[in-house]
Amino acid sequence: MTNAFLLRLMEAGDLGDQELSALDDLCRSSRDVAAKKYLWREGDEMAAFPVILSGWAARYQILRNGARQITRLLLPGDAFYFEGSPDGFAVEEVITLSPCRIATIQRGDMRRLIERFPAVGEALRNYGCMENAVLSSWVVNVGRRDALERMAHLICETHFRLSQVDPQLGQQMPFPLTQDDLADVLGLTPVHINRKLQQLRQDGLIVLRSKQLTIHDLRSLQQIAGFDSAYLAPRRQVPRQRPNAAAA
Amino acid sequence: MTNAFLLRLMEAGDLGDQELSALDDLCRSSRDVAAKKYLWREGDEMAAFPVILSGWAARYQILRNGARQITRLLLPGDAFYFEGSPDGFAVEEVITLSPCRIATIQRGDMRRLIERFPAVGEALRNYGCMENAVLSSWVVNVGRRDALERMAHLICETHFRLSQVDPQLGQQMPFPLTQDDLADVLGLTPVHINRKLQQLRQDGLIVLRSKQLTIHDLRSLQQIAGFDSAYLAPRRQVPRQRPNAAAA
DNA sequence: CGGAACATTGACGATAATCAAAGCGAGTGG
DNA sequence: CCACTCGCTTTGATTATCGTCAATGTTCCG
């Protein structure tokens, strides 16, 4: 039972063995999807909600002028499109960034499960809150940090979120984003991304080659980014630390 | 029963009279809060979740360098801090932007209500999805739109969200944000906000005076912003329109 | 009346965008 | 097996949007 989705939900709520194995059952049927394939595009039916068991995907919007903004990275364990209404809030499209394994849970199944185990419903609500927290932090990132800080923050965030569902994760991690993708995540241009990436490399903080990212100095990255994992890990935090901002 | 929170939840899910009146009961006890008061700051207890019955508030983060980014505007009917875990994802602080009337619902009461009426739980999950959609659109806004477009989009969004809980809303609406607040919403500087506001005024699109905003040309604003209300109103949309992007 | 918060204006600077071209690397097909 | 191509990365030169700094106006409120 090493299902990434279960691990994420366990972060979000207190689930017993019964709940977990029932959820696991719902993830039984899964399929493989290649990289750069649409998981969903505007106009498609969406009668179920997909869960990413492995691989990376992205939600994004395209503006009239053709600009793209990625609004969310979907990492292993992430789910999307909870809404009950078929014509939901889904203005966005989804594409895989790497080969993915995807489970598709039928809405009806999930609804029944929640009625049987209210704790699952609560975990899902909390999971939604965590998503909100990530989105908020992206708004902050794009709104108030410069290019280097944004990159550092993104790296810290993805590393942490990956480590939540893969405790063995060390310095090295998959990082399937191209520089164009990175630009569309961080609200910058590919050219600028390239230059700032080089800066991080030259400073010896990271190595990024053939979609593998090696973090050589996590401390410095967190320092640059002002990264604090609190928003991603509600119950893991030991004592809540007061701000006490002795800022650098 | 003109409670703004109920109106928002009715947007999000199918609630019957029973559910609605039970929810209404939970909002009974409410209090008035003046403008520019902290509703919540890091370190505070948060054993309940507040609901805004009237007035505006904002969630924000402060960075080490003192920069502030507002991550969410809380309009009438909005709730915050759903998380069940007391040490939740609450890295952010909340402040009122105008005098507010706030109801405080006890977590336990809400949990019991959801167990009795699963539809309420679903509505809350959907409401969380709508929050997600708003946050996504903010990421897009700050990431890929220039100053003028951002302002226009924010105006369209707030006007629409306000109209959802106040059907009588016309051209004119409350707009309690100072230019500093606006800057912190849009990821810009107050000086720049000022200049772009003047541009909107000179083009005859809006009038903004003493915290009242009058929209003289909503069409043009939407045009500038590339605004489409779909992401805010799931079930109201008549037929889902295909992209068919004959972009300007 | 006085003061504080907020709005406006101008001059200058910097981060990031744009444009364009060249290099690199991996997979494909001849 | 090699040439070719396509996607991706790198580099340089120039531009522009937006930020910074600083001063002056204005409105509101006790």
pLDDT digits (tens, 9 = 90+) for B174-193: 999 999 999 999 999 999 99
Q: Where are the domains of chain A?
A: 4-134, 146-232
Q: Which of A92, A129, A237 faces B82 most closely, judged by CB atoms?
A: A129
Q: Which chain A residues in 172-191 sit with Cβ < 7 A of strand D?
A: 178-180, 190-191
* B234 interaction partners in chain A (CB closer than 8 Å): 83, 85, 87-89
**Contact predicate B225/B219, CB 8 Å:** no
In this complex, the residue of B65, B87, B125 whose CB is nearest that of residue A82 is B125
User: Architecture of domain B145-232 in CATH?
Assistant: Orthogonal Bundle (1.10)
Q: Indicate if the alpha-carbon torsion angle B52, B50, B28, B6 is positive or negative.
A: positive
pLDDT by residue for chain A (248 residues), tens only, comes to: 579 999 999 988 889 999 999 999 999 989 999 999 888 776 566 667 789 999 999 999 999 999 999 999 999 999 976 454 444 455 788 999 999 999 999 888 998 999 999 999 889 888 888 888 999 999 999 999 999 999 999 999 999 999 999 999 999 999 999 999 999 999 999 999 999 999 999 999 999 998 999 999 999 999 999 999 888 876 544 433 333 333 32
If DSSP codes are grouped into helix, strand and coil, which group holds residue A104? Answer: strand
- Report the distance separating Cα A93 and Cα A39, nearest Å: 8
- The interface residues of chain A toward chain B in range 98-157, judged by CB-CB distance below 8 A, are 111, 114-115, 118, 121-122, 124-126, 128-133, 135-140, 142-145
**Type of residue found at A64:** R
Which one of A144, A232, A235 makes the best mutation probe of the B interface by having the most chain B beta carbons within 10 Å? A144
Which CATH architecture is the domain A146-232 placed in? Answer: Orthogonal Bundle (1.10)
- Outline where chain B has alpha helix (H): 4-12, 17-26, 107-116, 118-144, 147-165, 179-186, 190-202, 218-225
Strand C nucleotides within 7 Å of a protein CB: 5-11, 15-20, 26
Tokens found for residue B124: 């809350």
- Burial (0-12, 13-18, 19+ Cβ within 10 Å), B198: exposed
Q: Is the CB of A98 under 7 A from strand D?
A: no
CATH fold, domain A4-134, is Jelly Rolls (2.60.120)
